[in-house]
Each structure stands twice: as C-alpha cells, then as structure tokens.
C-alpha cells in the first residue's frame, strides 16, 4: 500500500476525515515553502498537495492561476521546488502530493524527476492534463519510486469510466465535485452523494472531494459521504493574507470532534 | 425592337458624348475597338478564363434561408459578388476593359478613384497583366484614404494626388481625361462605373452583365422560373446595370434600383448634361449641383448612368430610396442573420429587400445583388455606432 | 504513411486534458465518427461550401509569378476567395454543423488575430448558434475591428487578461469555458491542434483544399504537381492541403514555419525548426519552451502563425520525413507580399506570404516542366495596416 493511502486510512480509522491543503510552491517566494509546510503539518493535516506553477494551467481557476503567475514571476520551476523540498525533507512528516502539469515533468526527464521527487518526500502525484489513457508515459518510473499516481474522477465521467479510474487510482481517488475548474463556489450539485457512492463501489481506495471547497461547512458536508477533502483556492488565498486562523478552522472541521 | 437597346450611344434620350472635339475622337476610337472585340470569340475566351480562374466566378446565388424565414414573404436569393477577388463586382469590368486595352496594344492604364475601391481594382488587374498603371486621386482623398493609396502602390501603381480645385473626385476625373487626350496612343482610360461619355456606359454594362447572365441561369435551375424581382443598389449604377442586363427583356421580372435618400438622383433629380453625358442629375433650378449625403462612398454621387435614367423614364425600372438609418440596420441584419457582412453600397439593396420581401408571397422569389463585401466599411460603421 | 492509433500520429497527438473533458471528447469522437460517414451531413456541408462559402476555389496558374521566378510552373490554390477571406471557414462551418447535429446550442472558440473568431461567428450566425469567443486582451486591442466584426455577427467576445494575453491564453480560457459548460457547448478549435479528435476533425474539414487541388490538377494537367508549399502555424491549411497527397510519394510536401526575426534570435514561431517535443493544449507535439518545460511566447509578424506549438500530424510528417519543414522570416514574408502583389495583383495574407516567398525560391531550383502549387490560405486585406507599418512606406 502506498504511504499516501496509508496516511489517509489511518486518519479515517481514528474517525477523523482526511484533510489535504493545496499550496502553490513559490507563491510569495520559495523560502516560504518550508515554514508553510511545517506549520500545516503542525495543524494536523493528512497530506499536503504541492502545486507546481505552469505557464498554461488549463485545469485551474483564477485563484490558483494567479498564484501560479506570481510563483512563475518569482522564478519558481519544478527543479527548484524539488531542490527546496529536498533541503528540509527530514522534517517533513506528512506525505507530499505534487500537482504538476505534464510538460515540466517531460522537460525534467520522467525517470530523473521520479527519483528526485522521491528524495524530496513526494509520495503521490496529480497530473491534471494526463488522463488514464496516457499514463503509460510516466507510470513505470513513478512506480519504481513509490509515487502514487492519483486519478481524478469527474461528474461527467461515465459509469464505465468511473470504474476504470477508481480501480487505477493510487493513494486516493480525487473526486471532482463540480463541472469545471478549481475555485471557491457557494453551492454544489445535489446529486453529489449518489455520485460519491458510485465512485466508492469499485475500490477500497479512499475517495476525497476536491474543487470548490472553501468553508468549514463544506468540509463537514462532504464528510458525510467521502473520506475527506482537498482544499485549494481558499488555502492559497489565506496564505497570501497570512490568515492562519481560517486555515485552522478548515482543518478543525475535518476532525472527529467536530465531524460528529 | 427593345425599349432598352442602345442606339448611337444613347439609351433612349440619355447618354451620348458631350466632350471637346479632341477627346471625342479618342472616345470614338475606343468605341470602335470595343465593338470590334466584344463579340470576338478569342477575346471572350480569355475574359472567361480570367473571370473563372482569377476572379473565382461563377459566384453563388445563395438562398438566404434565415432571412427569408425571418421576413416571411418572398424567397430571398443573394447574388454573391462579394466573393469575387478584391471583394466586389468592380473587378468584372476592370478585367474586361484591361483585356480590351491589351488587345488594343496599349501598355498603360489610367483611372480615377474617389474612396479608392476602383483604384485598387484597377491597380490589381494592371499588376496581373504587367501594365503600367497611374491612378488619379484628389489630394484630399489621398489623405483620407492613405491605406488604399498604400495598397495601390503595393500593387505597383503610381498614385497621383491632384491638388487643384477642391482636391476631390471631379478634379481627378478631369486630370484623367486630359491624360487620355495627350497619351491615347499608348494609354487606356479605365472607367469604373456605368457613367461617362459613350462608349463607357455601354461597355461597363456589357462587362458587368455577367452578373445577371449567371443569376438568371442559376435561378432557373434552382426554381424552374424567373425571379419576381431583382434588386440592386444604384450610385453610378454599374452593379445594377449588370444585375439587370439579362432580365431587361423579361417583362415579368421587376427591376428595382435602390438609391440613397441623400443622393436620390432619379427620384429627386432632373435631366441635364453632366460629366460628358446626358442623364439625371441632382441640381437646383439654376443648374448648380446639390450636395449629397450617403454613408456609402460608392453611391455618394450627384449623377447616375444613362441606362438607369432611361429605365426610369420608360418605367421598365423602378427606383426607390432608403435612408442611411435603414442601410445601417440592413448592414447589421444581414451580418447577424446570415453571417454575411455586406458593403454599405450593397446594404441599400438589402435594406429595400427587408421592406419589400414581406409584401410578397412565398411563391415569389427575389434576387438581391450583394455587390461587395463590407470589410472595407467595418471601421466606418464601428465609428457611427459608437459615437 | 500517417496512421491513426487512438488519436496518435506516430508518437504525436493524444488526449492530454483534464478528466472533466474526457467524456466530452469521447462524445465528440463518437458523434464525429457517426456523422463523417453520414450522407445527409456531408450533403449539408457540401451545400454550404458551394452556395455560401463559394467553393470550389480556383487553382490558378500564376503565369507572371512563374516568369518572375524562372523555374517550375507555379499554381495558386485560391482559398483567399472563400467567404470571410481564408480557409478558416471550411473548418468553422464543418464543426458548427457537427455541433448542431450533436444537439449543442452554444459554441465557444478561441481566436488570435480574429480570423478564426470571425469565421466561427459567421458560421454561428448562419446556423443560429449562440457563440462566445475568447481573445487575448492584447489582441483585442490590436484587432478592435475584428472584435467589432464578431459582435456584428452576434458573437460575444471576451478579452483574456491572463498570462501573455495572447492566443495561447485564449485557448486556455476557451478550454476552461468548455469544461464548465460541457452539456450544451461545443468547442470549435480553429487549427489542427489540441486533443484527439480535434486534429483529425480539423484536417478532415480542411482536406477539401487538397481534394479539390488534386482533382483540378488531374483535369488540368493530367498529372500531379511535383511540389506543394503551405505555411504552418498550427497547421490547418497545410494539413488540409497535404493530406490527400500523403500517399503520392512523388509529390514533395513543404511546410513553411514562421522564423520571425530569425530562429537564432529566439523571436520566432517555428516549433518544428526551433522547438522541442512537449505537451500543450491536449497534444504531444513540437513546442516552443524553455528548459523547465514552460511554454514560451511565439513571435511572428503574422498573427495566424504566432502560436508556440504545431499540429501533431505535421510533427509526424516531419519525423517520418514525408514532409519537409523549413522557415521564412518576417522580412522574407514581406518580400512575398510585394512579389505576389506586383506580379499577380493578389494581396496575400501574411501567413500565406510565408509560403509564397518559400515557393518563389524553391521554384528557381526546379525545371520549367515541373509544377509547384502554393496554398494561398487567405487574403491580405486584414494585414494592410501591419504591412504598411512594417514597410514604412518603403516600396522599393
């Protein structure tokens, strides 16, 4: 079992829900990466999704896109993020999940990237512009370095596809909760619960909800039918504002004390 | 014999040649040459070749289904002159006259231009046939139409700015005639509209008649009958002359010419001799020219071709007017409803069709001559709508 | 030569898109497979191409250009005579008809300088589809009149302020819009790019260029041409022209990329000549990028060639050697404009001028009994401002 899945299952075993914050590496400078990760870790997050900026982030909404632009302006690259993470990897206790578009990995070299990422504490990876059909390009190298390849399942995925995706997904299953791109939203489609049940049918891999989750209420509401949540845009905004209270509230909403 | 036949350079009472003797001789020479070649099979083969391969004819007679449905009356067909090389019907005539010039052994072509369209069309054909080309243009117009001047130069033409008088089209025409008289042995003057002294109006009508030659056959093929009416915009009247030509004998086909309300020569003018020929002219009792006001540069003219004066006076043609507002509205309607942006000139014909089609029955069909594309007018319309 | 396995052209192409798009792409793929062989669909398409677009376009023997170059006989395939002035309408119309058959009521598209946007807006006006076009904010400023044109045609134009605020950012935004509105919206991609099945769909709707050319040559000369030259940005006019000739190995295919200020300056748009393989906008292809895999900006005097990638089928034609790719600079393209204006009275689009210049050089190396055809993809009316500024009144 991947370390990522293990971490999530041990969280849910306690009755808590998994909470994975997304941060954009290099937003505010790469020197912020270490303190941010360590502080999130202290708050008791299950894992941390580390976003790598890209020039053409088609799957991202405005908040993360702007964060990416700021990170690029600071000279952030995949290589530098890996180097920075490696420099304090002995302090990293929670699994890191890299979220990067495919092209920076291709430019890095898939094998070299996988090896270096392992040393940097990366246990899982999300490549939003690489659907299941194309995963052969990276899969062997990732596998060899114990990096779980997380699949996204969308509301528009057909039942046949949901089955294939959930069976293939490693670490956890990233269930996209809205049609579209990342970003905070006020409401969700009502049929979500049904959708999540369907997703969980085919695999024991935990299902996490992502895209548009921005309040403790959202976090709680998804707890009813998922193993936890991924929160992106709201975390990115809060980090820019240095608003740790909000982040703490969000994390707290995933804990057993508040869930029940 | 037909009521619209040309006799001695006259359409009924209109036309003729009222020019100084030296110019008259030159015009007679051109007329002879035109008569010699217009029925020459070899000449016509060559013309046909270039119309097909270079201009892209035949162009479609397009059934405007959306517009027809929206208006709920006659079926509307659009004759797509806008799809011609250089974007309008102008090239039909330019090619014909240049081929004539070539047969005459002439190496140099001159033309006048106002807004620049005819100048560009002439420069285009000259480039293709390797003819030396001089375009006369009022100095004021060269400034207003700097980009068209650049285009003509790009095509290898020499643009001469005429800085006498008002520096407008009239002065350019005078200068071109002076050039012709001085250099007629090696120079051909290419007139773009169905105006001017004999033989120009007839020659222009002849070279433009390809429009109705095609549309008549196309309509017969699509509908199995002739159209109820043919509608075309009229300034000098070259596109209308071409659009009507092959229907003149078909009495059941109504021929409708649409003038701008602000330059309604046939509705509001009176007969006079003007620019070397007899026709209708917008003038006051003293014979002074009246100011015109049309948003379409190509129709903003006090005169009209003698053919139209004749069709008007005999009643064979019907001449109506539309306002600038109606034209602007038609420009937008055709764009939105059919995805075709018409020239402001052609929008006059469209504007009348918008009013006319609903008065007919679905068994009727009308042909609207879309004489040119509106790309050249987009900037002007943008400014008018955003002021 | 060109084989299609799961949307691949050799190792190029693919479907590198977010999962949220996969269902839509599958739906599109199935619909397209169904309608491409549907006689009533093809009939409707042919009807509009003939009566509305004005096809077929002439294959014109450019006698004076031939004389001026002194070598092969040069023919021009006159896509500039199409309604809206370029080959773009072939694809826009085809896809709009497809969308209609799929029951989609709305269209989204991207545009650079506005040509594809105008073509799409036109097709949508004709077929009564609601249309939204994304355009980089920089391009909106530079091409205000094309924006107005699209609005005249009833389309909503949205300026994209993000990234470099140019074409690639408009594509990003159009993709995002599509992802969010998949149920009722079809994305009309304008070039032979993007995830499968787009490169195939665009090529199939553009192949009318090559099909007509082939038939016209057989009728006119009773033989095929020796060489075909077309410009390549994303590569839609060129793939449409090349495709029907790919099996005719005696016909040499030349793709001309935009070298901008020169490939050595880094300011160019020649993805095959000066890029590396990578993934952008759904496809594995040659791409302008830095060592970090970040996509870099393309530079060309021609807005239509100003894109950092190149269609996957071209990448494959390059790798297999079936087509030869070369490039032409801004200055050389301007020479091409002047040459075609002066000799033939045809003002070519700046995109097409790249092919004109290249062909003029190539023709010189060929013999008079050989034939070369240029795909004249569009007219240059839209470029007169740019050409005038670039030449600075210098017409010598």
d(CA A89, CA A55): 27
Chain B environment of C80 (Cβ under 8 Å):
85
pLDDT of residue B120: 94
- Range from B132-146, B192-206, C1-15, C314-328 carrying the lowest mean pLDDT: C1-15
- Sort B382 into a burial class: Cβ within 10 Å, 0-12 / 13-18 / 19+: middle
What residue segments make up the domains of chain B, in order of their start?
11-48+89-204, 56-87+209-385
- Range from B276-285, B312-321, C75-84 carrying the lowest mean pLDDT: B276-285
Write out the CATH class of domain A3-259. Answer: alpha beta
Q: Are C195 and A59 in contact (CB under 8 A)?
A: no
Residue B135: name the closest of B126, B143, B144, B1 by CA: B126
Q: Most distant CA pair in chain A: distance in Å?
A: 47
Active site residue A49: yes
- Please, what is the average pLDDT of chain B? 94
Q: Rg for chain B (alpha carbons), in Å?
A: 20
**Cβ-based contacts under 8 A for chains B and C:** 114
* C152/B335 Cβ within 8 A: yes
The architecture CATH gives domain B56-87+209-385: 3-Layer(aba) Sandwich (3.40)
* A104/C19 Cβ within 8 A: no
Kindly write down the DSSP assignment for every residue of chain A, as one continuous string.
--HHHHHHHHHHHTT--EEEEEEETTTT-GGGHHHHHHHHHHHT-S-EEEE---S--TT--HHHHHHHHHHHHTT--HHHHHHHHHHTGGG--SPEEEE--HHHHHHH-HHHHHHHHHHTTEEEEE-TT--GGGTHHHHHHHHHTT-EEPEEE-TT--HHHHHHHHHH--S-EEEE-SSS-SS--S---TTHHHHHHHHHHT-SSPEEEESS--SHHHHHHHHTTSSEEEE-HHHHHHHHTT-HHHHHHHHHTTSHHHH-
DSSP B220: H
What residue segments make up the domains of chain A, in order of their start?
3-259
Helix or strand or coil: residue C132?
strand
Taking only the tens place, the pLDDT of each residue in B327-383 is: 999 999 999 999 999 999 999 999 999 999 999 999 999 999 999 999 999 999 999
Tokens of A79: 């290589």
Q: Rg for chain A (alpha carbons), in Å?
A: 17
pLDDT of residue A187: 59
Pick the CATH number of B11-48+89-204 from 3.30.565.10, 2.40.110.10, 3.40.50.1100, 3.10.580.10: 3.40.50.1100
The label of the residue with tokens 């005097």 reads C301
pLDDT of residue B297: 87
Domains of chain C by start residue, with CATH: 11-50+88-198 (3.40.50.1100), 56-85+203-391 (3.40.50.1100)
Closest residue of chain B to C220, computed from CA coordinates:
B53
Q: Are C114 and C381 in contact (CB under 8 A)?
A: no
Taking only the tens place, the pLDDT of each residue in C347-379 is: 999 999 999 999 999 999 999 999 999 999 999
The label of the residue with tokens 């003939």 reads C50
Nearest to B56 among C81, C381, C382 (CB): C81
What region does C158 belong to: left with phi over 0, alpha with psi -120 to 50, or beta? beta
Confidence of residue C2 (pLDDT cuts 50, 70, 90): very low
Tokens of B65: 């289904």
d(CA C292, CA B276): 74
Closest residue of chain B to C337, computed from CA coordinates:
B154
- For C144, the enclosing helix (H) or strand (E) is helix C144-152
Task: Report, as an integer, the average pLDDT of B281-287.
Answer: 91
Nearest CA-CA distance, residue C195 and chain B, Å: 29
Q: Is the pLDDT reported for residue B96 higher than 70? A: yes
Residue B300 φ/ψ, nearest 5 degrees:
-85, 75
∠ Cα B100 B103 B106 (to 5°): 90
Chain B environment of C81 (Cβ under 8 Å):
56, 83-85
pLDDT of residue C392: 81
Q: Are C78 and C59 in contact (CB under 8 A)?
A: yes
pLDDT of residue A184: 63
Residues 6+ apart with CB under 8 A from A190: none
Taking only the tens place, the pLDDT of each residue in C46-59 is: 999 999 999 999 99
Chain C environment of A56 (Cβ under 8 Å):
163, 168-169, 172, 280-281, 295
pLDDT of residue C250: 97
Taking only the tens place, the pLDDT of each residue in A22-60 is: 999 999 999 999 999 999 999 999 999 999 999 999 988
Residue C188: name the closest of C75, C93, C85 by CA: C93
Tokens of B256: 């409708």
C197 preceded by cis ω (within 30°)? yes
Residue B313: name the closest of B300, B301, B302, B304 by CA: B304
Taking only the tens place, the pLDDT of each residue in A148-200 is: 999 999 888 888 999 999 999 999 999 988 776 666 665 566 678 888 888 99
Taking only the tens place, the pLDDT of each residue in C124-173 is: 999 999 999 999 998 898 888 899 999 999 999 999 998 888 888 899 99
Q: Are C82 and C57 in contact (CB under 8 A)?
A: yes
DSSP C298: P
Confidence of residue C31 (pLDDT cuts 50, 70, 90): very high
Confidence of residue A1 (pLDDT cuts 50, 70, 90): confident
Angle, helices C198-206/C19-36, rounded to nearest 10 degrees = 30
d(CA A88, CA A86): 5
Does the beta carbon of C277 lie under 8 angstroms from any beta carbon of chain A?
yes
pLDDT of residue B144: 81
The label of the residue with tokens 């100003």 reads C306
Residue A39: name the closest of A108, A104, A109, A92 by CA: A92
Task: Report, as an integer, the average pLDDT of C79-94.
Answer: 97
pLDDT of residue C4: 46
- Range from A62-66, A147-151, A241-245 carrying the lowest mean pLDDT: A62-66
Q: Are C169 and C160 in contact (CB under 8 A)?
A: yes
Residue A130: name the closest of A155, A85, A165 by CA: A165
The label of the residue with tokens 């005719």 reads C248
Angle, helices A192-201/A159-168, rounded to nearest 10 degrees = 60
pLDDT of residue A183: 66
Task: Report, as an integer, the average pLDDT of C112-120.
Answer: 93
Q: Convert A62-101 to b/e letters by CB count within 10 Å (16 or more is b).
A: ebbbbbbbbbbebebbbbbbbebbbeeeeebebbbbbbbb
- Sort A190 into a burial class: Cβ within 10 Å, 0-12 / 13-18 / 19+: exposed
Residue B269 φ/ψ, nearest 5 degrees:
-95, -175
Within chain B, strands assigned E span 6-7, 10-11, 14-15, 61-63, 75-80, 108-113, 132-138, 158-162, 187-189, 229-233, 254-260, 270-274, 277-281, 317-322, 365-370
d(CA A96, CA A85): 10
Starting from the edge strand earliest in sequence, which strands make up the sheet with B132-138, in order?
B158-162, B132-138, B108-113, B187-189
Q: Is the pLDDT reported for residue A212 higher than 90? A: no
Does the beta carbon of A74 lie under 8 angstroms from any beta carbon of chain C?
no
Tokens of C6: 């799961």
Nearest to C123 among B66, B339, B376 (CB): B339
- Sort A188 into a burial class: Cβ within 10 Å, 0-12 / 13-18 / 19+: middle
Q: Which of A59, A76, A163 to mutate to test the interface with C (most CBs of C within 10 A)?
A: A59
* Long-range contacts, A221-227 (Cβ 8 Å, 24+): A222/A17, A222/A177, A223/A17, A223/A253, A223/A254, A223/A259, A224/A193, A225/A192, A225/A193, A225/A196, A225/A197, A226/A17, A226/A175, A226/A196, A227/A8, A227/A12, A227/A17, A227/A18, A227/A172
Q: Are B347 and B326 in contact (CB under 8 A)?
A: no
d(CA B226, CA B235): 26
Task: Report, as an integer, the average pLDDT of B225-243.
Answer: 97
Tokens of C160: 């994209």
* B127/C342 Cβ within 8 A: yes
- Please, what is the average pLDDT of chain C? 94
d(CA A174, CA C18): 12
Does the beta carbon of A128 lie under 8 angstroms from any beta carbon of chain C?
yes
- Please, what is the average pLDDT of chain A? 92
pLDDT of residue A35: 98
Look up the ipTM and state it.
Answer: 0.92
pLDDT of residue C1: 38
Residues 6+ apart with CB under 8 A from B183: B108
Residues 6+ apart with CB under 8 A from C306: C112, C113, C166, C167, C233, C258, C269, C298, C299, C300
Q: Is the pLDDT reported for residue B8 higher than 80? A: no
Helix or strand or coil: residue B70?
helix
Which of C110, C173, C212, C351 is catalytic? The answer is C110
Q: Are B195 and B14 in contact (CB under 8 A)?
A: no
Enter the pTM of the model.
0.94
d(CA A57, CA C176): 10
Distances (CA, A) of C304 to C86, C136, C166, C301: 11, 13, 11, 9
Distances (CA, A) of A241 to A31, A67, A199, A217, C114: 17, 12, 36, 21, 39
Which of B81, B112, B175, B214 is catalytic? The answer is B112
Q: Are A120 and A86 in contact (CB under 8 A)?
A: yes
Q: Is the pLDDT reported for residue A63 higher than 90? A: yes
Residue B155: name the closest of C67, C64, C325, C302 by CA: C64
Active site residue C367: no
CA–chain centroid gap for A205, Å, is 15
Residue B56 φ/ψ, nearest 5 degrees:
90, 20
């Amino acid at each position: 079992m991947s370390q990522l899945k293990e971490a999530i299952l041990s969280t849910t075993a306690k009755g808590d829900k998994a909470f994975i914050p997304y941060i954009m590496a290099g937003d505010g400078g790469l020197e912020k990466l270490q303190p941010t990760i360590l502080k999130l870790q202290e708050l008791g997050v299950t894992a941390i999704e580390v976003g790598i900026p890209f020039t053409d982030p088609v799957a991202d909404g405005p908040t993360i896109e702007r964060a990416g632009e700021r990170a690029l302006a600071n000279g952030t690259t995949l290589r530098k993020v890996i180097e920075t993470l490696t420099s304090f990897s002995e302090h990293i206790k929670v699994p890191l999940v890299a979220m990067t578009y495919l092209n920076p990995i291709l430019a890095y070299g898939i094998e070299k990237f996988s090896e270096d990422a392992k040393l940097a504490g990366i246990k899982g990876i999300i490549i939003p512009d690489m659907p299941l059909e194309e995963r052969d390009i990276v899969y062997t190298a990732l596998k060899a370095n114990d990096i779980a390849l997380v699949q996204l399942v969308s509301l528009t995925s057909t039942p046949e596809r949901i089955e294939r995706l959930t069976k293939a997904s490693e670490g956890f299953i990233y269930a996209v909760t809205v049609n579209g791109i990342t970003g905070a939203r006020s409401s969700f489609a009502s049929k979500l619960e049904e959708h999540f049940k369907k997703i969980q049918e085919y695999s024991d891999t935990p299902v996490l909800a992502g895209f548009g989750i921005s309040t403790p209420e959202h976090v709680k509401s998804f707890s009813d039918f998922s193993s936890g949540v991924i929160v992106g845009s709201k975390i990115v905004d809060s980090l820019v504002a240095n608003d740790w209270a909000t982040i703490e509230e969000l994390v707290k909403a995933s804990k057993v004390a508040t869930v029940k | 014999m037909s009521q619209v036949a040309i006799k001695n350079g006259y359409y009924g009472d209109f036309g003729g040649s009222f020019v100084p003797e030296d110019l008259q001789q030159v015009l007679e020479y051109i007329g002879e040459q035109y008569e010699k070649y217009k029925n020459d099979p070899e000449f016509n083969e060559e013309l046909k070749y270039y119309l097909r391969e270079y201009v892209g004819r035949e162009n479609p007679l397009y059934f405007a289904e959306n517009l027809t449905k929206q208006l709920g009356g006659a079926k509307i067909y659009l004759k797509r002159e806008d799809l011609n090389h250089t974007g309008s019907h102008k090239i039909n005539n330019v090619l014909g006259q240049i081929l004539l010039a070539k047969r005459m052994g002439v190496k140099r072509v001159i033309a006048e231009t106002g807004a620049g369209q005819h100048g560009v069309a002439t420069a285009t054909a000259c480039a293709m046939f390797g003819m030396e080309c001089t375009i006369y243009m009022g100095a004021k117009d060269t400034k207003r139409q700097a980009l068209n001047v650049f285009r003509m130069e790009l095509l290898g033409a020499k643009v001469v700015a005429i800085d006498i008088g008002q520096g407008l089209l009239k002065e350019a025409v005078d200068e071109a005639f002076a050039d012709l008289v001085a250099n007629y042995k090696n120079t051909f003057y290419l007139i773009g509209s169905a105006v001017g002294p004999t033989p120009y109006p007839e020659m222009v009508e002849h070279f433009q008649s390809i429009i109705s030659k095609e549309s008549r056959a196309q309509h017969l093929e699509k509908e199995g009958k002739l159209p109820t009416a043919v509608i075309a915009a009229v300034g000098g009247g070259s596109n209308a002359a071409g659009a009507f030509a092959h229907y003149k004998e078909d009495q059941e086909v109504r021929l409708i010419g649409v003038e701008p309300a602000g330059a309604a020569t046939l509705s509001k003018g009176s007969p006079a001799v003007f620019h070397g020929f007899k026709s209708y002219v917008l003038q006051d009792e003293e014979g002074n020219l009246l100011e015109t006001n049309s948003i379409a540069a190509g129709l903003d003219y006090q005169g009209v071709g003698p053919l139209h004066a004749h069709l008007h006076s005999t009643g064979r043609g019907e001449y109506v007017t539309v306002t600038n507002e109606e034209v602007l509205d038609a420009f937008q309607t055709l764009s939105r409803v059919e995805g075709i942006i018409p020239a402001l000139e052609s929008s006059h014909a469209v504007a009348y069709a918008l009013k006319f089609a609903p008065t007919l029955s679905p068994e009727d069909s009308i042909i609207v001559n879309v004489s040119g594309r509106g790309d050249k007018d987009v900037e002007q319309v943008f400014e008018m709508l955003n002021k | 030569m060109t084989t299609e396995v799961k949307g691949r052209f050799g190792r190029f192409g693919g479907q590198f898109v977010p999962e949220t798009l996969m269902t839509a792409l599958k739906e599109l793929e199935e619909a397209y497979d169904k309608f491409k062989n549907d006689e009533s669909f093809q009939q409707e398409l042919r009807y509009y191409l003939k009566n509305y677009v004005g096809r077929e376009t002439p294959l014109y023997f450019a006698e004076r250009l031939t004389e001026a170059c002194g070598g092969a006989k040069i023919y021009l395939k006159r896509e500039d005579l199409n309604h809206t002035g370029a080959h773009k309408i072939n694809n826009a119309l085809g896809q709009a008809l497809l969308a209609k058959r799929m029951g989609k009521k709305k269209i989204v598209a991207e545009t650079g300088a506005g040509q594809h946007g105008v073509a799409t807006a036109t097709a949508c006006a004709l077929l009564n589809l609601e249309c939204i076009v994304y355009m980089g904010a920089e391009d909106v400023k530079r091409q205000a009149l094309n924006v107005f044109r699209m609005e005249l045609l009833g389309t909503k134009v949205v300026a994209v302020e993000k990234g470099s605020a140019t074409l690639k950012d408009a594509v990003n935004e159009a993709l995002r819009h599509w992802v969010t509105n998949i149920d009722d919206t079809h994305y009309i991609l304008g070039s032979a790019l993007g995830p499968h099945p787009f490169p195939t769909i665009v090529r199939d709707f553009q192949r009318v260029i090559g099909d007509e050319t082939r038939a016209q040559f057989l009728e006119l000369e009773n033989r095929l041409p020796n060489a075909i030259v077309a410009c390549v940005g994303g590569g839609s006019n060129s793939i449409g022209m090349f495709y029907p000739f790919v099996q005719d190995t005696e016909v040499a295919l030349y793709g001309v990329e935009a070298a901008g200020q020169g490939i050595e300056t880094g300011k160019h748009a020649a993805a095959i000549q000066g890029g590396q393989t990578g993934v952008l906008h759904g496809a594995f292809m040659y791409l302008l990028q830095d060592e970090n895999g970040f996509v870099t900006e393309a530079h060309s005097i021609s807005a239509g060639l100003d894109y950092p990638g190149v269609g996957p089928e071209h990448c494959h034609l390059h790798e297999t050697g079936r087509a030869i790719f070369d490039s032409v600079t801004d200055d050389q393209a301007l020479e091409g404009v002047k040459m075609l204006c002066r000799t033939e009275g045809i003002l070519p689009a700046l995109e097409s001028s790249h092919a004109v210049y290249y062909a003029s050089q190539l023709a010189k190396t060929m013999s008079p009994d050989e034939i070369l055809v240029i795909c004249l993809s569009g007219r240059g009316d839209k470029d007169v401002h740019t050409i005038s500024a670039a030449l600075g009144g210098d017409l010598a």
